[in-house]
Amino acid sequence: MLSFIGRSIIQKIITLFFVMVISFLIIHLAPGEPSQVDPLNPKFTPEMVERFRKAFHLDEPLHVQFVYFYRDLFTGKTISWKDNEPVLKKIGERFLNSLPLFIVATILIWTLAFPIGVRSAIVRGGAYDRLATFFSYLLYSIPGFFFAYILILLIVNAFHVPVIGMKTFGLTDVSLLRTGMDRVWHLVLPSVLEATVGIAVLSRYVRSQMLEVEGQDYVRTARAKGLPPEQVHYKHALRNALLPFVTMFGLMLPGLIGGSVIIESIFSWPGIGRMAYEAILSRDYPIILSINFISAVLVLIGTFISDILYMVVDPRIRL
């Protein structure tokens, strides 16, 4: 166990290093430069562009820039080129905005996918199952922004209430409960939209796991014993089918920082995804690279946790 952990950590650090190198190269080798260095601004003289390049270390060779950047990142000194704010502070702020979305979407996914998937598996082949299959594929196939616009149009036209942003603007001097509920309302649409694909995929996965388990001998035995089908399904089968899902908790980790660019742009939700997108547009390299780095770290930690959890819940596995 310990040796597995040790080996795995070393492996992950090496992987991380390559991720750092590759993402750095992708960004720096691409044509174009940060928008602060905008030569088509009549007010910019070539000398100024040169000075900006110097200030951003863009005139140094690549490997020196690489060292500078990651040295700053690890000491927490990286600043965004756009506004000179510390990158970590900016990411932290956005993370707090994305967090409620992530939480509500995750709860929606997990609470809805299970009943749908389980029931699908129990009545497999039936009308309900086929309907559920069809709808989960429908949700999976619909272009996110198209769906978002349809929903927004429906709601704004039918109810005349604001849905964009994190809260209703211009709402002052009202009770705490009301502002709270207002915020919840603004969470509903974006989180439902972020959850659609998740619900579709997870419910399919639950269904196939249930099917797998229902075919096992011990479930057949339980059924043969004459236990009520309810109990067979929900006690014997479901419990065992749940096993692999425990490991998925680890894999959810990267979702913390991977808010959907499209949904956040449409709902003008100031989350991480949008910040990343805007950073790409203005070529704010420190932000792009930091987000990339953090998400890679989260992916690696996530797989690590899920490996460990797998070992813990399934005694058959010894790595």
Taking CB under 8 A as the criterion, which residues in 99-118 touch another protein? 104, 107-108, 111-112, 114-115, 118
Place of tokens 């500078």: 68
Q: How far apart are CA 275 and CA 286, in angstroms?
A: 12
Q: Which residues pair with 79 in a beta bridge?
A: 86
Residues numbered 34 to 93 that lie near another protein (CB under 8 A) are 35, 38-46, 48-49, 51-52, 55, 79, 82-85, 90, 93
Mask of contacts with another protein, 113-152, x by CB under 8 A?
-xx--x-----xx----x--xx--xx-xxxxxxx--xx-x
List the alpha helices (DSSP H) in 123-242.
127-141, 144-159, 176-214, 217-224, 229-231, 238-241
Nearest-approach distance from CB 155 to another protein, in angstroms:
9
Nearest-approach distance from CB 243 to another protein, in angstroms:
15
Place of tokens 């959890």: 309
Q: Which is nearer to another protein, 42 or 315 (CB)?
A: 42
Please give the structure tokens belonging to residue 161. 């209430």
Which SS3 state, helix, strand or coil, does residue 79 take? strand
Which of 191, 183, 119 is closest to 151 using CA atoms?
191
Which of 242, 251, 249 is closest to 212 using CA atoms?
242
Nearest-approach distance from CB 283 to another protein, in angstroms:
6
**225 near another protein (CB under 8 A):** no
Residues numbered 246 to 285 that lie near another protein (CB under 8 A) are 254, 258, 261-262, 265-268, 270, 273-278, 280-281, 283
Q: Which residues pair with 86 in a beta bridge?
A: 79
**221 near another protein (CB under 8 A):** no
Q: Which stretch binds another protein (CB under 8 A): 64-72, 216-224, 287-295, 311-319?
A: 287-295
Q: Which is nearer to another protein, 126 or 312 (CB)?
A: 126
Q: How far apart are CA 132 and CA 116, in angstroms?
A: 7
Which SS3 state, helix, strand or coil, does residue 86 take? strand
Place of tokens 């989260």: 298
Q: Which of 14, 123, 154, 317 binds another protein (CB under 8 A)?
A: 14
**22 near another protein (CB under 8 A):** yes
Q: Which of 65, 168, 216, 240 binds another protein (CB under 8 A)?
A: 168
Distance of CA 185 to the CA centre of its chain: 21
**226 near another protein (CB under 8 A):** no
Q: Which of 30, 127, 315, 318 binds another protein (CB under 8 A)?
A: 30
